[in-house]
Amino acid sequence: MTEISHRTIQTNGINMHVAEAGSGPLVLLVHGFPESWYSWRHQLPALAAAGYHAVAPDVRGYGRTDAPQPIEAYSMRNMVADMAGVLDALGAETAVIVGHDWGAPIAWNSAVLRPERYRAVAGLSVPFLQRSPMPPTQLFKLAFKDNFFYILYFQEPGVAEADLEADPRRSMRLFLFAASGDAPQDPLTWQKPKTSTFLAGMPEPEHLPAWLTEADLDYFAAEFARTGFRGGLNRYRNMDRDWEEIPELAGAKVTQPAIFIAGERDGVIAMNPAGVTAMKETVPNLRQTLLLPGAGHWTQQERPAEVNAALIEFLKGL
């Protein structure tokens, strides 16, 4: 198996830890919440073996990358600048950018805002979404009313941190299972009162699903026990700021060759199936939409073989 190496680079004023493997055209892998470079542990060696330089950073606020204090440091403009800075640090003019969960909007928006840097884009779990007609939190309050919605719960600094940091290993165990295809129902689609907490009601798994080992869980838990969850949560706290700061996303289209991959049982898809359909118009060069039967939210971890095969086929076709 190809060795995964680690180093720290400077980008957009911060120190960023990256894991990498292979040589060749650059493929940038951007993780989501609450994860790290480790979410791409199955993709790094596979992409390297296929002839690519695969690089998976710890996004700002996570792992061994800097975690600035101000909430506004986690704006989408900063995230896009961070990724462009990775290309600069690696001496690459262009890359293919691949993102999962929050990494997907970072990837889609990077393709829109910095089209000269990205020759193709792959989104996992979260489809490309144009700018909403009003600030997102207003939209969520109208839609969910007295029901719990995790993004609204994440808005108040300190609240979700206390919930998740009380026992990081248990938090990761519950969430990784609950949002996977192995759980009876994705927590994003549950109905519970808005006074609830994020972890309330998540089932205690009798054993970990086959795709997640105790060592995997140990890695995630140790990272969040050390860093806390604040950096990742701050991304959610910038959604209205992003709406104000990036008006050019209204009506924007992703013009590069693209692929979208998600689990059929992903709660993100269940909440907004129209988002996938809309990409026929908003991503005119969408080469493939792959929905993986039985898979949940953790796309590339739950179905590494299928994701690797689809990504490599997409890359070879560029």
Task: Tell me the catalytic residues.
Answer: 101, 297
Nearest residue to 114 via CA among 223, 287, 225, 246? 246
HSE-up of residue 164 (Cα within 13 Å, Cβ side): 28
**Phi/psi zone of residue 189: left (φ > 0), alpha (ψ -120 to 50 degrees), beta?**
alpha
Q: What is the CA radius of gyration of the chain?
A: 18
State whether the Cα torsion 296-297-303-306 is positive or negative: positive
